Structures are given as C-alpha cells and as structure tokens.
Structure 1
C-alpha cells in the first residue's frame, strides 16, 4: 500500500463517547494470527489433539490435499483450512468458553509491517483473528477503472489503490494468516462514508454489487495486476468469505439482505452493541462492536482503537507527552471488558482495530498486550468471527436463549452448573445487575 492510506476524517468526540458512531476506516498494514486457543475446565470440548486443560494447544493441521487452481489461478482449493476447532454443544451444567475476537479493518501489509507482526503474535499466543480485507488493496492503481463503486465515478476510492509491491506483500500475509487458522473477511472496497454517496446511503442492490466486486478483486488479482508468477491464495474465496464489516459502521440495514443473499453467515457492522450474547438479524449473526469501559471516564465507547483515539486526542498525532497514558487507558479498558465478561456472563468479546501507528503506536501495544494476557487463560479461546459463528451454530438454541437473559457483567445467580443444568432462566438469572453509565 505504501502511503496509499488516508487518515480518516475524525468524528465528533461526544458522539463517540456515547458509542453512537465509529470510524471503521481503512487500516494499512498489519498482522495476523494463528489458531484458536485450546480449552480448559469449563470451556468447550478440546480441539484436535488438545486435551482438556491444555489452554495453549493448537488444533492439528489438515491432511495434505491436491491443489486445484480456480479461475485465473489467483486462488486455489487446497483442502480444508488448517487449525480449525471442532465445536460441539455445551453439556448440561457446562460453563461456556470465553470467546475473544481480535479483528482488523482494511487488512493489508505496508511499510509499517503490522500485518506480519500481529500475524506472528497471533501464532505465538494461539489466537486466530479476523482480517477484513479491503478489495482495492489487491487492485493496482493503473487498473483502478475495473472498480465501479455505487454512487461514485468508476475508479474512485477514498482509500486509493495499491502498488504491485504492496499487493505482493499483502498476498504473502493473507496466505500465511489463512494457513495459520485465521479468517479472511471483507471490509468491502472504496471505504465511502457519510451522507454524500457513503455506504449508509446504498441500497441492497448496490451492496450486492460491492460484495461481488470485493470477492472478484480477490479471485482475479493475477489478471488485474499481471503478477502471474506469484503463488495463488490457498482458498476458494467464494466459500471462505462469510462475513464483513462495513466502512465507518454504516449501512447495515440494507447490507444485511445483500449479505444474506451472498451467503454471509455474520455481519460485524453494527455499533453500540452491549457485552451480551449475540442474536441474528434475518438469519445472519449480528456481531457488533461493543460498548466497553473507558477507565477514569464516566462513559463507555466502542471496542475499537479509533474510538479511544477520538475520545482522547481527536487526532492521529496527539500530544506525545500524553500518548503513553492514552495507550494504557485503552489497554485497561480492554482488560476491564474482558474481566466483566470472563467473570460474568461469558458473552463473546469483540475487538476491532486498524493496522495504524496512531499516536505513536500506543493502540497497537495495547492490543498486543491484551492478546498476550488473555489468550492463554483457562477457558479462553481467541478465535475468528467465523469460528464464533461455528460455535454459536453448534449450540442448542434454547441454551443460547438462556444465555441472552444475562445482562452485561452478570454471572448466573446460582452458578453456572445450576444455570446450565436446565433450571428456568427466570429463577436463575437474577443477582446484581451492572448498571451501564448513561452515555446517550
């Protein structure tokens, strides 16, 4: 990408404090992950060769498979994805695992080399992640007219396009991330926000066009770039692509019908979600960014690096003397969000980030420290959104309905054994409630 990125226009700090809006702007470089963490007592059944209690054991890799090139050879069917957990239903009385998702918007490798860095971090700490790839990161600028964005001229993009070195580097990281067990989702293409032709103004048909083009740029990068000697991506993107996050978290209402028609299993575009158990919108799992604590402040904000930035400095280059404190505030906010779920209702924790060095890179350090601290804990699984959908789909719907009766930070009054043993939810879901700060 190499300087193709633009700093997103900052949104109103007051609105961000309320968790009302967020800039899910294009990230530039990045990193990835490895595989889902194993299980401990109270977690879901063990994965691969993992035995109960081995929280750091990786699922075993898939057996060798004949490679089948697809289309122009940009992608290939290489068999089942390695290092994928196999989820089964919770047993009566069993406490749910604590699922944690680290996700990256606009994932691509540039001169910051953050994609490669976090991919290695994820592998080291058994953390599968979700990389939301912007399709234009595989489209060279001299072929930009291939892109026909809704409500904008052909060849337009608010995040520019890539060069061939950036495409080559990004492809390398996508291959390795997928082989390590992580998910390649979509951040769509041109990252258009706001009322003047932004994604929030698009119809479902326009979203369908955007999805088809995002998939097409991945499936035809050799044709578009001329980099025909490079290895293919080791997956069939028509099957791999099962979810995404919309730019600036806009437009979910009309996106959902298009996403469902495209075979998406989840959408991660909604805002202002709470740390409670997810549900579906018209058959598509809704995995929102969540309101989480801002330590030292009387409000919560969305679980994304950009939202902490907007509430702290309001600029990507704030006062250097304050940057360390800002990074600590984000780290402590993530830690507080984790602890209230882990010791409370065990709802999945969703964290969104960008491969950016905003405010001296303090948000990247906060995320990395959080990965190190939580992914090896007993009963914790750091997984991709796709794997969360797998886990949710494997459960008894009645059990999921019971879990949804638990409020933010609320552990079952009678303990997990009683709560998950079939007792009526109304009799067991009481106990002290955590009152959310008034932020709206």
Structure 2
C-alpha cells in the first residue's frame, strides 16, 4: 500500500499538470508604435530676424525644419536682372528682391548656418509666379535659374569672402520644392525628376496622409485640420489661418484669440495622430508675422511641447525622404 505522502505528492503533480494544460497561452507582444513625425516648413524665408528666431526654436526643441527659399531674395536691386522668369522680362518678381547687398550677405549667412545645423533648404522657385500654365521647359528654366543664383550668389553680388565649399553645398543641399500658391500641374511633375529633385511639398489633403512616391518624387500634402468653434477644416498653414481669422487683414487686438485657436487646432491635429495611426503631420508657415505674430507664437508653444517628447520627431522633408529612400538622398541631420 502506497504511503500517504506519495499519494499527496501524486495529487499535487496531477493538479499542476492539469493547471498547465488549461492555462491561457501567453499574450502576443504588442508592436511598438512608430514615433510621431511632425514636419514644419517655412516658405520664401526672407526676414533675417525670423531665420534667427526659427533656428533658436530648433535649438531649444531639437527640431529640424525645411526652409523653402525664394531665390530673388539672393539678388539685390543692382543684381535683380540676373533673374528672368518664364514669359517675363529680366528683373521681374511678384515678391520683390532683397533690399541691399548686405541683406543678401546676411541671408546667405543664415542659409549656411541652417544647413550646418542639419536643416533642409528647399526651393520655392524664384519670383513667386503662378506656374499652373507653365510647360515642362518653363519649369526647368525656373529650376535652372534657382540653381544658378544660389550657386553663384556671392559672386553675383560681389560678396566676399565666399565660404569654402559653398559651391559643393549649393549643388547638394536642395532636393525638394514647394510651388508658389501651392499651384501645380502635370508639367511640374514631369519637370521635377528631370531637375534632379526628390520631393514636392505642394499638395493639399483632407487630413494627414502618408506621402506616396511616384516617378521618383515623394509627394507631400499640407493637411486640412479642424479649427475654431465649429471645427471647420482649414489648410494647416499660417496664411490660410490668417484669411480664416481676419479675412487677410491685420487685427492685432484679437491676436491672442487667434493664437489660441491656432494652437488648439495644431494640438488637436497632433493628438489625433499621436493616439491613432501616427501619420506624419505637416505644418506650413511664412516669415511674415501675421496678426501680430499670432501664428508664430502658436508654433513656438506647440513645438516646445511636442518636439521634445521621446516618441516624437520634428524633422524636415529631406530627413523623411532620406529615411524612406536611403539610396537616393544624401545623409542629413535629424
């Protein structure tokens, strides 16, 4: 007859085996969410103080920005005829030119500094003309003008000394474009790869979307985001908010209200992606301080909160493309 101790031990083993048989299987590991990407850009990139202010914001938050430069701001009144737009006579521009040789020198210094800090210098064309009716040849002419003026800006304006390696930098730094007025056409998308560019940021979408790549061009779109008491959609760009808020006219007495509305719109659009699919969020700005700087103030509040998060990256368009297509894009900071 077996001893009681052996019977108890046998029961314990049997119960343990039965428990193991009926235990729930281990849960599958939950895939980590990708980092939330925010892409902030500036069009025309004219005012020197705004160059400095944006670079300081980047240094505080670890962000990298894209500056879409209009090349007429690298020409002084004396050198303006270096640029001839398609269908125009020499020296014509919708947005003027730099006010002086010194202003050109100061802007070139900012471009150099921004590039050295890992920011992205993109093309906004030159004279800010609406190219919707331009041919492929017209667009290529505009791209060549941009490249020539950027490459030779020091010599054209008689600015010395030209930084060592400037030509090499000028040839390599620009890989993307945003059309003035966000005005595009099939001819533009034929010209972009022929000009050696890798991305276009001229699109508009109903909300944040993953940027597709077609014919070698990654195509980004500024999203429409809910804004204001009625949550009506508006393009996520300061100028569109300016028109929404005050009809495109200055109303400095309401600047704080407009700042808060803008901040809320940015933050809500960010939060929707951050807690959802984490599609990249794109925001666009100009160097103009509309409605007493309401939109830049909102940007600084927003970036100071989100760009510093461990699972958020505020990067440039070029950074994004270089990660998606590492064989096609030069290595940049970010």
1:243 aligns with 2:176: yes
Structure 1 CA distance for aligned equivalents of residues 157 and 140 of structure 2: 24
Alpha-carbon contact 2:209-2:221 (below 8 Å) kept: no
1:266 aligns with 2:236: no
User: For 1:201, what is the secondary structure of its paired residue?
Assistant: coil
Q: 1:323 aligns with which of 252, 255, 271?
A: 255
Q: 1:173 aligns with which of 110, 116, 128?
A: 110
Q: Which residue of 1 aligns with 2:51?
A: 115
- Deviation sequence 1:188-220 (CA, Å, 0-9, x none): 10011xxxxx31111111011101111111100
* Deviation for aligned residue 1:230: 4.4
Moved beyond 3 Å, runs of 4+? 232-235
Alpha-carbon contact 2:40-2:65 (below 8 Å) kept: yes
Q: Which residue of 1 aligns with 2:242?
A: 309
Q: 1:290 aligns with which of 215, 219, 223?
A: 223
1:127 aligns with 2:63: yes
Q: 1:257 aligns with which of 176, 182, 190?
A: 190
Q: Residues 273 and 211 (structure 1 numbering): CA distance in 2 closer, same or farther, change over 3 Å?
A: farther
* Deviation for aligned residue 1:273: 4.8
Q: Residues 277 and 150 (structure 1 numbering): CA distance in 2 closer, same or farther, change over 3 Å?
A: same
Alpha-carbon contact 1:289-1:351 (below 8 Å) kept: yes
Q: Which residue of 2 aligns with 1:438?
A: none
Q: Which residue of 2 aligns with 1:388?
A: 320
Larger Rg: 2
1:103 aligns with 2:35: no
Q: Which residue of 2 aligns with 1:13?
A: none
- Deviation sequence 1:341-394 (CA, Å, 0-9, x none): 111111111111001111111111011111101101131111010011122226
Pick the structure with more helix per residue.
Answer: 2
Structure 2 CA distance for aligned equivalents of residues 181 and 292 of structure 1: 28
Map 1:25-424 → 2, pairs under 5 A:
93-110=31-48, 113-162=49-98, 163-192=100-129, 198-231=130-163, 234=166, 235-318=168-251, 320-393=252-325
* Deviation for aligned residue 1:145: 1.4
Provide the TM-score with structure 2 as the length reference.
Answer: 0.84
Q: Residues 263 and 94 (structure 1 numbering): CA distance in 2 closer, same or farther, change over 3 Å?
A: farther
Alpha-carbon contact 1:276-1:345 (below 8 Å) kept: no
Q: Name the Cα RMSD after superposition.
A: 1.8
Q: Residues 290 and 266 (structure 1 numbering): CA distance in 2 closer, same or farther, change over 3 Å?
A: same
Alpha-carbon contact 1:140-1:224 (below 8 Å) kept: no
Structure 2 CA distance for aligned equivalents of residues 140 and 358 of structure 1: 25
Alpha-carbon contact 1:147-1:156 (below 8 Å) kept: yes
- Deviation sequence 1:202-241 (CA, Å, 0-9, x none): 1111011101111111100122101132435755222221
User: For 2:298, what is the secondary structure of its paired residue?
Assistant: helix
Provide the TM-score with structure 1 as the length reference.
Answer: 0.65
User: For 1:178, what is the secondary structure of its paired residue?
Assistant: helix
* Deviation for aligned residue 1:295: 3.0
Q: Residues 207 and 232 (structure 1 numbering): CA distance in 2 closer, same or farther, change over 3 Å?
A: farther
Alpha-carbon contact 1:246-1:269 (below 8 Å) kept: yes
Q: Residues 230 and 283 (structure 1 numbering): CA distance in 2 closer, same or farther, change over 3 Å?
A: closer
* Deviation for aligned residue 1:252: 4.2
- Deviation sequence 1:45-97 (CA, Å, 0-9, x none): xxxxxxxxxxxxxxxxxxxxxxxxxxxxxxxxxxxxxxxxxxxxxxx934222
Structure 2 CA distance for aligned equivalents of residues 297 and 95 of structure 1: 31
Q: Which runs of 5+ in 1 are unaligned?
A: 1-91, 193-197, 396-440
Pick the structure with more strand per residue.
Answer: 2
Alpha-carbon contact 1:306-1:353 (below 8 Å) kept: yes
User: For 2:202, what is the secondary structure of its paired residue?
Assistant: coil
Q: Residues 268 and 109 (structure 1 numbering): CA distance in 2 closer, same or farther, change over 3 Å?
A: same
Structure 2 CA distance for aligned equivalents of residues 273 and 386 of structure 1: 23
Structure 2 CA distance for aligned equivalents of residues 232 and 348 of structure 1: 36
User: For 1:210, what is the secondary structure of its paired residue?
Assistant: helix
User: For 1:359, what is the secondary structure of its paired residue?
Assistant: coil
Q: Residues 323 and 303 (structure 1 numbering): CA distance in 2 closer, same or farther, change over 3 Å?
A: same
Structure 2 CA distance for aligned equivalents of residues 157 and 232 of structure 1: 30
